[in-house]
Structures are given as structure tokens and as C-alpha cells.
Amino acid sequence: MKSIELDSVSKAYGNETVLLDFSLDIEPGERVVLLGPSGCGKTTILRLVAGFIKPDSGSVSLDGQVVSRDKRILVPPQHRKLGMVFQDLALWPHLSVRGNLEFGLRAKGISKNEREAKTQKTLELVGMGGYGHRKPDELSGGQQQRVALARALVLEPKVLLMDEPLSSLDLELNRRLRKELVRLQEKLEITLLYVTHDREEASHIATRTISMEKGRISSN
Ligand SMILES: Nc1ncnc2c1ncn2[C@@H]1O[C@H](COP(=O)(O)OP(=O)(O)OP(=O)(O)O)[C@@H](O)[C@H]1O
Ligand SMILES: [Mg+2]
């Protein structure tokens, strides 16, 4: 479990200010959902936490350690120990589903037997147990979304960043997976930062919902 803190973060693209003095404190084990209209800055916040972009000013901390400050990345993304499921899933196209899940496990030096067991168990969890041999482009959009979720979960991260990971699923699958997500988050003691624009989904996942308007937290 890790805390996440953004302290007076500002971020602009060209002359468009996306975030202005934005602060957010997330306690270990919380499930915080960012809710807000398209373009209000939700993905930008996740990118800042992940370390893909740097703040113009202000700082980002994980577990009390400053990882980005002002215009500098102090800890690069690969060392932040985060799980991520982003809008553009970024599955490896040349690897099978199983290969996509095993990739990160192999990098962690986990043995073949354990890799296979964890991979299969996690695929079953998201209802993809029979699809391990397929390539991503042989799956539907919703199936790819489940594989992306499984790929993040299989590494048992302490912080999980999710950007509308269930948005292309039908309601029944959305309900099932969000329940599983909450169950796993509690079991693995993950700190979750989750983005959606669906108020109903947010209400089922969040221990705290943050409603945003353009670049700032709205009053409700
Ligand atoms: N790399 C970039 N270059 C220029 N502008 C950008 C870039 N990334 C995002 N923006 C702009 O910043 C604003 C916030 O974008 P962001 O992706 O954070 O929105 P969002 O809340 O995630 O929206 P959505 O719900 O549509 O995903 C938008 O106006 C967007 O056009
Ligand atoms: Mg977005």
C-alpha cells in the first residue's frame, strides 16, 4: 500500500492550462475515482503520477517520496512500481495473451511454473481463461480490455492507475469486473486511482469520488 500525493501541480500544453495548482492526497488503500467530463484533465493526472509527463510546477510524491518536482522527473516510470491500465491499452501485438501477462513476471525473475500458474489464474479471473494462445488483434475490444486489466493485476502492484478500463464492456461484464476489481484491491491492499466519466460505475468502485471540472476539483 502506498500513498499518492500531488502538491500544487500545474500543467499546460502550449498555452492551454490543463491543471492549475492542483492538489490531491490519497491515503494507502483508498479507492479514489476521478470523475469528470472529457478534456477536464483526468488522464493528465494519471500520466503525472505514472511519470510519463512532468509537472510545470509543483510535485508528485509516492509513499512520501518526491518522484517529480517542477520540470523534473526524479524517479522514472519503470521504478515507480505502479500497475497501469490506460485508455489505449498498449498490449504487445506480437505476443500472445499469455505472453503479454508473462512478460512482466519474467522481468521480475519469477520461475516458469509460477508464471504459468499466475497467468492462468489471472486470465480466469477476468473470464479469459480460454484465450491465452490468442494474439491481441484476434480479440474483441472488450476482451482486449480484460487482458489489459489482467496484465496489470498479475504483477500484484501496490498502486494501480486505471483510465476508463471498463468503458467498452457491456453492463453485465462491467458490473462483474468492477466487483472483482474491488475484491482484489482489498485482498492485495492496492491503492487505486481510477478514472471514469460514468457516475454509476464510480459509485460502485470508489471509497472517495473526486468530481472535476476543467483542471480543478468541483465543489460537490
Ligand atoms: N500531449 C498533449 N498535447 C496537447 N494537448 C493535450 C495533450 N494531452 C492532453 N491535451 C489536452 O489537455 C486537456 C486534458 O486532457 P486529458 O487527456 O487529461 O483529458 P481527460 O479528462 O482524460 O478527457 P477524456 O475523458 O476525453 O479522456 C485536453 O484539452 C486535451 O486536448
Ligand atoms: Mg482521458
| φ, ψ at 19 (rounded to 5°) | -125, 135
| CB of residue 38 inside a 6 A radius of ligand 1 | yes
| φ, ψ at 213 (rounded to 5°) | -110, 180
> Can you spell out the DSSP letters for 49-115?
HHTSS--SEEEEEETTEEEEETTEESS-GGGS-EEEE-SS----TTS-HHHHHHHHHHHTT--HHHH
Report residues of the chain scoring pLDDT below 70.
Answer: 87-89, 215-216, 218-220
- pLDDT for 149: 87
At 133, list the grid cell: 494462445
| CB of residue 204 inside a 6 A radius of ligand 1 | no
**What separation in Å is there between the alpha carbon of 220 and the centre of ligand 2?**
21
Q: What is the pLDDT of residues 152-169, one digit of tens each?
A: 989 888 899 999 988 878
Nearest alpha carbon, ligand 1 atom 5? 13
Q: What is the pLDDT of residues 15-53, one digit of tens each?
A: 999 999 999 999 999 999 999 988 999 999 999 999 999
What is the model's pTM? Answer: 0.89
**What separation in Å is there between the alpha carbon of 44 and the centre of ligand 2?**
7
**What separation in Å is there between the alpha carbon of 6 and the centre of ligand 1?**
18
Structural domains in the chain, sorted by start: 1-81+157-220 (3.40.50.300), 93-156 (no CATH)
Rounded to an integer, what distance in angstroms lies between the CA atom of residue 188 and that of residue 166?
20
Q: Which ligand is nearest to the CA of 213?
A: 1
Rounded to an integer, what distance in angstroms lies between the CA atom of residue 178 and that of residue 118?
20
**What separation in Å is there between the alpha carbon of 195 and the centre of ligand 1?**
13
Cell 500472445 locates to 96
| CB of residue 41 inside a 6 A radius of ligand 1 | yes
Q: Which ligand is nearest to the CA of 163?
A: 2
- pLDDT for 34: 96
Q: Which ligand is nearest to the CA of 16?
A: 1
Nearest alpha carbon, ligand 1 atom 3? 13
- pLDDT for 88: 67
| CB of residue 213 inside a 6 A radius of ligand 1 | no
